[in-house]
């Protein structure tokens, strides 16, 4: 769980290198609800679009903005799966996030095969 928290904290602060190091070759990172992700699902999960998005496993879905503050609320993992949620804030702007992560294996050195990121703007008050 510590690894997932560390990687997502790096993501939130705009530090992509630590996250990229853990992405497996050919991994996918999708932002759920975007046109590319919706189009891929409409075509039955065609991997050609996913490969363009992942660029060989090196693309990172960036945080929605440069956050002034943020908090990771929970991190869960079980076997090959993990999830992390929290929020980022800049001024009065708040975005809640959730990352659903699938690792290539269950070992401590297994790389990330897929990340699905959910972003939801919300009321900061």
- Give me the mean pLDDT over the 78-101 stretch: 97
Tokens of 71: 């908090």
- The DSSP code sequence of the chain is -HHHHHHHHHHHTT-HHHHHHHEEEEEEEEETTSHHHHHHHHTTS-HHHHHHHHTTTT--PPPSS--SEEEEEEEEEETTEEEEEEEEEETTEEEEEEEEEEESSSSTTPPEEEEEEEEEEEE--
Q: For residue 67, give its domain range.
A: 2-123
Average predicted confidence (pLDDT) for the chain: 86
- Give me the mean pLDDT over the 82-89 stretch: 98
pLDDT of residue 124: 65
Residue 7: pLDDT over 80: yes
What CATH number has the domain bearing residue 111? 3.10.450.50
The 10s digit of each residue's pLDDT in 11-31 is 999 999 999 999 999 999 999
């Amino acid at each position: 769980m510590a690894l997932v928290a560390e990687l997502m904290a790096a993501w939130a602060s705009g530090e992509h290198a630590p996250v990229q190091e853990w992405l497996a070759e050919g991994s996918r990172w999708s932002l759920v609800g975007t046109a590319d992700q919706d189009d891929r699902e409409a075509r039955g999960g065609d991997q050609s679009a996913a490969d363009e998005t992942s660029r060989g496993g090196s693309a990172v879905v960036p945080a929605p903005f440069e956050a002034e503050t943020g908090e990771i609320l929970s991190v869960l993992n079980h076997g090959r799966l993990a999830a992390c949620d929290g929020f980022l804030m800049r001024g009065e702007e708040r975005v809640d996030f959730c990352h659903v992560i699938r690792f290539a294996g269950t070992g401590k050195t297994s790389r990330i095969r897929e990340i699905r990121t959910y972003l939801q703007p919300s009321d900061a008050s």
